[in-house]
Amino acid sequence: MKTLLRIDSSPRKKSSLSRQLADVLQEKLETEVGYTSTHRDVYYDELIKLGNEDSISAYFTPEEQQSTAQKEAVKASNILSAEFASADAFIFAVPMYNFSITAGLKAYIDLIARSGISFTYSENGPEGLLKGKKAYVIITTGGTKLGTDVDYVSGYMTTFLNFVGITDIEFINSDQIMTDAKKILNQVKTEINELILK
Ligand SMILES: Cc1cc2nc3c(=O)[nH]c(=O)nc-3n(C[C@H](O)[C@H](O)[C@H](O)COP(=O)(O)O)c2cc1C
């Protein structure tokens, strides 16, 4: 059984365009590849919170030496990083907020990037541990053109995914949506439906 982890990162629910596009892709991946999906919704999931003294210091403390407070604080990161490491493929639905990813997605990434789980330090520097996985990254923007100097989403997502060992990345760009939302959404939905899945 191949597992697909979908990560939504728009605070909007009903009117979110990245969610609409992720729905189309998720359905295609489930029907055509046979993935079983799980889901994290970074703004609505009680596990996803900013780090604090206890959670971050727990990252650097062996489990048997962690205080009760550290153990409690690092629980969410333990669950989320193990879940992320066990998935075969990912859909990231990524709205651009102020030229970058949303704060909720950054908080989630800070919880799943864990030494010994998603990356390790080798003689040659950091090395990703999550090899052989596939990531689909759907980016929506209002007015900013992706691929320009002010796009801090595409490069960041590539760097982060590569850092944890994921190099097979398919970007689905839905940018400058405010110029003609209906037309662009339909174009991108067609693009998703025409994707050749491996
Ligand atoms: C707080 C905020 C910041 C935004 N910043 C940008 C931005 O820097 N560039 C841009 O093109 N669009 C920006 N937008 C527009 C969103 O990227 C656009 O509405 C996108 O569709 C949001 O994704 P969603 O529909 O899934 O919620 C911003 C929207 C909000 C609410």
pLDDT at 40: 98
* Angle at 90 (CA atoms; ends 88, 92), nearest 5 degrees: 170
pLDDT at 131: 97
Ligand 1 is surrounded, with C-beta below 6 A, by: 10, 12, 16-19, 95-99, 140-144, 177
Is 36 annotated to bind ligand?
A: no
Q: Is 51 exposed, middle or buried (0-12, 13-18, 19+ CB in 10 A)?
A: middle
d(CA 136, CA 112): 17
- Give me ligand 1 centre to Cα 89, in Å: 25
Residue-level pLDDT, tens digit, the chain, 198 residues: 899 999 999 999 999 999 999 999 999 999 999 999 999 999 999 999 999 999 999 999 999 999 999 999 999 999 999 999 999 999 999 999 999 999 999 999 999 999 999 999 999 899 999 999 999 999 999 999 999 999 999 999 999 999 999 999 999 999 999 999 999 999 999 999 999 886
pLDDT at 36: 97
Fold of 3-193: Rossmann fold (3.40.50)
Q: Which of 194, 135, 113, 139 is nearest to 4 (CA)?
A: 135
d(CA 80, CA 96): 23
Q: Which atom of ligand 1 is nearest to the CA of 176?
A: 11
Buried b or exposed e, range 74-87, using 16+ CB within 10 angstroms: bebbbebbeebbeb
- Give me ligand 1 centre to Cα 170, in Å: 21
pLDDT at 141: 98
d(CA 122, CA 128): 10
Mutate to test the pocket of ligand 1, among 7, 94, 98 (most ligand atoms within 8 A of CB): 98
Residues ≥6 apart with Cβ < 8 Å to 25: 91, 136, 138, 172, 192, 195
**What is the number of alpha carbons within 13 Å of residue 141 lying toward its C-beta?**
22
Q: Which atom of ligand 1 is nearest to the CA of 141?
A: 17
In the chain, where the domains are located: 3-193
Q: Is 54 exposed, middle or buried (0-12, 13-18, 19+ CB in 10 A)?
A: middle
pLDDT at 51: 96
pLDDT at 144: 98
pLDDT at 61: 96
